[in-house]
Amino acid sequence: MATIPIRVPNLAASRTTARSRIRKRLPAAFALLPTALVVLVVYIGCMLWTVRLSFTSSTLLPKLDWVGLAQYSRLFANDRFLTSVENIAIFGVLFISGCLILGFLLAVFIDQNVRGEGVFRTVFLYPYAMSFVVTGVAWQWFLNPGLGLQKLVRDLGFPNFTFDWIVNQDMAIYTIVIAGLWHGAGLTMAILLAGLRGVDEDLWKAAKVDGIPTWRVYVSIVLPLLRPMVITATVLLTTGVVKLYDLVVAMTLGGPGIATEVPAKFVMDHLFERNNIALGTATATIMLIAVVSVLAPWVYARYVRPQGRHA
């Protein structure tokens, strides 16, 4: 920014170029105006409105009084909210890392030029084509101890086999992770596979000449090259974590007890079922703060810092 060249003598000329530049940009600005308005009014506006409501005592209808942080202190004394936060953390870490690892392994597997690659690719990607609701219901049946996997294995002659995670309070959240992995790993695979296909053949040849084992090439050479794909996949998976709602509703309805409650469900229940707009919006605000505080360092590293350096 400090090194903008200033040409004093040619002021008039630069003004005309600036004017023509504006004129050139005018149609573009016009075209973007509706979108900008939508972003401003709908996204930013609703966000501010939500934050404002979280400081009120609104119940069924919005009310514009001021109760300070009362809703927040209520929120942090609420068992169910605390369980939700814990659950989303468990789910987030396991789901994102699990999808990346599994997706990468699947991509590497397919990248070995296996026969029937198309079939495998479709099979692995197929779960992603299902909605979370379908996924949830299917896994609910599959994991139900009375009619799913446990019963099947017992009927096959192992009467002591137990797999009752979905009805077990301590383990139920992991069944949500399993279903999520099944759903999301395929997409990660597709993204990483596209990256793998873009790796230069010569790199492989060079590595072969040097006698580097294949796994080492993947870990030390290919994986760093895939960085943009890994970031893309992570961003996509993260949005999936934040909005996790339908999978839980379809699969466990937050149960057994409150063992699989998640923040988004807490918001929905309080906004629409329990006529408690204030508490719902307070939760939504906390979610917003969490997302922003996760995103901020990334945005800073990606957009702000490089600009400062290059200028």
Partner 1 sequence: MRLKKRVSAYTLAFAFISSSGALAQQKAEVLHWWTSAGESAAVRVFADQFTKAGGTWVDNAIAGGVNARAAGVNRIVGGNPPTMTQFNTGKQFDELVSAGLLRDLDAQAKAGKWREIMPKLIVDAVTREGKAYAVPVNIHGQNWMFYNTKVFADAGVEPPKTFPELLQVSDKLKEKGVIPLALGGQPTWERNLFNAVLVGHGGPDLFRKVLGERDQKAAKSPKFKEVVEIYGKMRGLVDQGSPGRNWNDAASLVITGKAAMHFNGDWAKGEFIAAGQTAGKEYGCTIVGETPREIIGGDVFVFPATKDKAQLATQDKLVEVLLDPASQLEFNKKKGSIPVRMDVDISSMDACAQKSHAVVKDPANQVEAQELISTPNFTGAMQDAITQYWNTPNMSADAFIEKVTAAMRDAS
> What is the binding site for partner 1 (CB under 8 A)?
57, 59-61, 74, 77-80, 140, 144-147, 164, 166-167, 169, 251-259, 269-270, 272-276, 279
* Shortest reach from residue 62's CB to partner 1, in Å: 9
- For 204, the token pair is 């492989």
Q: Give the DSSP per-residue string, 187-234.
A: HHHHHHHHHHHTS-HHHHHHHHHHT--HHHHIIIIIHHHTHHHHHHHH
Nearest CB to partner 1, comparing residues 52 and 80:
80
* Shortest reach from residue 117's CB to partner 1, in Å: 38
Q: Are 165 and 175 in contact (CB under 8 A)?
A: yes
Of 305, 256, 265, the C-alpha closest to 287 is 265
Nearest CB to partner 1, comparing residues 75 and 217:
75
The C-alpha atoms of residue 237 and residue 98 are separated, in whole angstroms, by 11
* Shortest reach from residue 59's CB to partner 1, in Å: 7
Nearest CB to partner 1, comparing residues 54 and 188:
54
Nearest CB to partner 1, comparing residues 100 and 244:
244
Nearest CB to partner 1, comparing residues 84 and 285:
84
5: left (phi over 0), alpha (psi -120 to 50) or beta: beta
- For 173, the token pair is 């959240």
Count Cβ neighbours within 10 Å for each residue of 194-230 and write b for 16 or more, e otherwise. ebbeebeeeeeeebeeeeeeeeebbeebbbeebeebb
* Shortest reach from residue 262's CB to partner 1, in Å: 14
CA distances from 50 to 128, 262, 281, 287 (A): 32, 19, 6, 12
Nearest CB to partner 1, comparing residues 49 and 298:
49
* Shortest reach from residue 105's CB to partner 1, in Å: 31
* Shortest reach from residue 85's CB to partner 1, in Å: 15
Nearest CB to partner 1, comparing residues 137 and 242:
137
* Shortest reach from residue 190's CB to partner 1, in Å: 32
Q: How many residues would you count in the chain?
A: 311
Q: Are 58 and 70 in contact (CB under 8 A)?
A: no
